């Protein structure tokens, strides 16, 4: 309390508003605050379980797709070696030359990878990991 004021209560309104009997915190107040903080700290550090239940069906569906892609790649490789394309040309260029649809597929893959990266960065920022 400002002691200069306390010894100079020349104004009733000032006196009434400034000299209020202070409340004493309940005995368990600090403990209950610390309990909440401890709970929150534990929750904050608990790693989130990986959602296998949700992810698994998608992964199972992905397997035939991956198998199909590998099969197509092998086929393309075989076709490339059979036609004896320029040996110095990179494999992707050869594949695109044989099937122009691969270029579109590659662009989609790049877009998906970029989206994944951006999502991951945003998530990191949101949880404060930077």
Partner 1 sequence: MNAPAQDKNAGSELDLDLVAVERVVAGDNAAFEDIVRRWQGPLINMAWRYTRDRGRAEELAQEVFLRAWRNLPSWRGDAKFSSWLFALAANLFRTELKRYPTVTAPIDSIPEPAASTELESEFLNASEQDSVRRAVLALPMRYREPMLLFYFHEMDLAQTSRTLKIPEGTLKARLSRGRDILRRRFPALEHTGNKPIMANLKEEVAR
Distance in angstroms (rounded) separating the CA atoms of residues 118 and 124? 10
Task: Considering the complex, state which of residue 32 and residue 119 has its C-beta at the smaller distance from partner 1.
Answer: 32
Task: Considering the complex, state which of residue 27 and residue 84 has its C-beta at the smaller distance from partner 1.
Answer: 27
Query: For residue 106, how many other CB atoms are within 10 A of its CB?
Result: 13
- The verdict on 26 binding partner 1 (CB under 8 A) reads yes
Distance in angstroms (rounded) separating the CA atoms of residues 98 and 93? 9
Binding string, 35-54, against partner 1, x = CB under 8 A? Answer: -xxx-xx-------------
Among 54, 47, 51, 50, smallest CA distance to 129 is for 47
Q: Summarize the chain as % helix, strand, coil (round to 5).
A: 70, 0, 30
What distances in angstroms separate CA 56 from CA 40, 71, 115, one per listed residue? 31, 23, 21
Question: In whole angstroms, how close is the CB of 47 to partner 1 at the nearest point?
Answer: 17
- The verdict on 5 binding partner 1 (CB under 8 A) reads yes
- The verdict on 9 binding partner 1 (CB under 8 A) reads yes
Q: How far apart are the first and last CA of the chain?
A: 44
- The verdict on 125 binding partner 1 (CB under 8 A) reads no
* Sole window of 22-30, 60-68, 91-99, 103-111 interacting with partner 1 (rule: CB under 8 A): 22-30
- The verdict on 129 binding partner 1 (CB under 8 A) reads no
Binding site for partner 1 (CB under 8 A): 1-5, 9-18, 20, 22-26, 29-30, 32-34, 36-38, 40-41
């Amino acid at each position: 309390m400002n002691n200069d004021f306390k010894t100079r209560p020349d104004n009733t309104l000032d006196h009434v508003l400034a000299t209020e009997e202070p409340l004493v915190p309940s005995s368990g107040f600090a403990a209950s605050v610390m309990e909440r903080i401890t709970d929150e700290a534990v929750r904050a550090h608990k790693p989130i379980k990986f959602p296998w239940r949700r992810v698994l069906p998608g992964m199972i569906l992905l397997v035939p797709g991956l198998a199909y892609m590998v099969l197509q790649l092998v086929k393309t490789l075989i076709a490339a070696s059979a036609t004896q394309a320029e040996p110095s040309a990179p494999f992707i260029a050869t594949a695109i030359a044989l099937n122009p649809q691969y270029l579109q597929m590659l662009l989609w893959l790049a877009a998906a990878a970029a989206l994944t990266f951006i999502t991951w960065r945003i998530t990191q920022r949101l949880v404060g990991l930077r």
